[in-house]
A and B are shown apart, each in its own frame.
Chain A
Amino acid sequence: MSDILDHEIKELLQQNRLEQAFELVMNSYKERLYWHIRNMVVFHEDADDVLQNSLIKIWRNLSNFEGRSKVYSWCYRIASNEALNFLEKRKRKKLTSLDDDNHSISNALIADEYFDGDAASAILLEAVGSLPEKQRQVFNMKYFEDLKYSEISEILQLSEGGLKASYHHAVKKIEEFVRINHEQLNHLKN
């Protein structure tokens, strides 16, 4: 199914029907791209900004797409980079630091209108947020988005071995984070 879609988009690009190709890209991929971005940046408003930036960037570069990878992988890569850039800027601005020790992420999530998960979910997101950015990417793509290592390898242009190692380290850190913070978790629940 995704191969047929990929082929269809590439056909439109070869015929220089850019607007139709982009329409197809948007309709087919915007939700997956959104959730990928949201997993990285956590809050809906931020994810909305990053998604729009990503789609605009995809549009601007569509005529230059050479077709060497799948269209989805290419779009995913753009969205990933935009999310990472956003996180970098946010860290510099220190508006809501994901490395904050005071559980600002989980507290902010509990209060956020676009999050109605429980305290445990908030702590898990905080744990993921504490990972180095590249490791966070790999973890999200494997654990939440359920992508295969081969797919992640194509998107991030990293070796499957490296990805497996990265994921393994991420899991260990998250387990440790959740274990240490289970008391905090109780506090949030109460």
Chain B
Amino acid sequence: MHEKDFKDIPRNKAQGSIEGMKVPEGYFDTVDRQIWDVIHREKLEDKVLPLNFSNHDSYSQIWPKLAVAATLIMAFFSVVTNFSGKDSELIQAEHYVYEVNLEDASLFVDDELLADNLSLAELEMLEVANKYVSSDEIMEYLKEESMSEYMLIENLNF
């Protein structure tokens, strides 16, 4: 066979390709519909914040996802904290106890309630504190307080 010049090989000028390349029947009629389906699906997906991270996510799309994740984590921990089975009033009382003074509060709060709601370490601290508070000491304390008040009044009379 003689050498073939590639320019002798027929071309399909209408298609702009080599002769013999075919497409499925009706292919170009269906392409539009397929593309619009993809576009409309993407529009719907844009309305729902995806939580999966893909390589196509730009940094601008990651920040909202991080914000949602952070919110969920904070909500989770606040629910867990509040879900310790304690009454909310009791929780407020606990916070008051911590704020005021653990030793002072123990003088006014029922022992049983304290035992139920404070940790072992906290109870031990209380016991140590209470050990050193006797009634005599309380009286001394009160006298000192009244003395200081008396002295304050004395000073004011000058």
Contacts and interface: CB of A to CB of B under 8 A. Distances in A.
Contacts of A23: 32
B6 A115 contact: no
Nearest to B16: A145
Nearest to B28: A31
14 contacts: A23-B32, A30-B31, A31-B15, A34-B28, A35-B21, A38-B17, A116-B20, A116-B22, A117-B20, A121-B9, A121-B20, A145-B16, A178-B4, A182-B1
Given A56-B38, A182-B1, A32 B16 contact: yes
Contact of A52 (B9, B28, B34): B34
A118 B35 contact: no
Interface residues of B, number: 27
Among B16, B27, B32, chain A packs the most CB atoms within 10 A around the CB of B16
B16 A174 contact: no
Interface residues of A, number: 41
Contact of B18 (A30, A34, A144): A144
Contacts of A55: 31, 35
Q: Could you tell me the dominant secondary structure of chain A's interface residues?
A: helix
Interface of A: 23, 26-27, 30-32, 34-36, 38-39, 44, 48, 51-52, 55-56, 59, 113-118, 120-121, 124-125, 127, 143-146, 174-175, 178-179, 182, 185-186, 189
B18 A121 contact: yes
B5 interface: yes
Interface in B19-44: 19-24, 27-28, 31-32, 34-35, 38-39
B151 to A, nearest CB: 81
A117 B4 contact: no
A175 B39 contact: no
B3 interface: yes
Given A114-B23, A121-B18, A56 B6 contact: no
B131 interface: no
B10 interface: yes
Given A27-B32, A56-B38, A114 B9 contact: no
Contacts of A48: 27
B95 interface: no
Contacts of B16: 32, 35-36, 39, 144-146
B47 interface: no
A27 B35 CA distance: 12
B17 A39 contact: yes
A51 B32 CA distance: 11
